[in-house]
């Protein structure tokens, strides 16, 4: 399927401003700035398992079905309910403090998180 694969961060724009807006401590922002986040996606039709691997062997896995409300978790451990939708090949999700759009473009995983006027754009290459 289109999203299935393992991806590693290649570039990101707006990281510091976005993290500060979400209230992430400066020391955590510093550690994560140059970290090559690995995202593992398993897609079977409309069923997804989405795992992000962070520093210190920390990982967060969210499982969801397109168009159905599910339980999700943020990197900070905050649990919330959300519905992931697909529109024109893009996954859209409303997190508690921001909206998130993900697509495959040129074989790369492109994620755009928007909170007000602050935008984080992360591009990851397929491993």
The residue extents of the domains of the chain are: 5-126
Indicate the pTM of the whole model: 0.90
pLDDT per residue over 19-62, tens digit each?
888 888 898 888 888 888 999 999 999 999 999 998 777 789 99
User: Considering just the CA atoms, what is the radius of gyration of the chain in Å?
Assistant: 14
Domain 5-126 has CATH 3.40.50.300: no
């Amino acid at each position: 399927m289109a999203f299935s694969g393992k991806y590693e961060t290649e570039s990101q724009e707006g990281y510091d401003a976005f993290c500060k807006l979400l209230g992430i401590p400066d020391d955590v922002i510093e550690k994560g700035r140059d970290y090559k986040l690995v995202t593992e996606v398993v897609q079977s039709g409309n069923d997804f398992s989405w795992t992000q691997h962070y520093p210190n062997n920390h990982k967060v896995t969210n499982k969801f079905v397109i168009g159905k409300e599910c339980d999700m978790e943020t990197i900070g451990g905050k649990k919330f309910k959300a519905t992931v939708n697909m529109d024109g090949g893009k996954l859209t999700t409303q997190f508690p403090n921001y909206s998130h759009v993900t697509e495959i473009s040129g074989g790369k995983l492109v994620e755009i998180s928007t909170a007000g006027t602050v935008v984080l754009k992360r591009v990851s290459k397929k491993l």
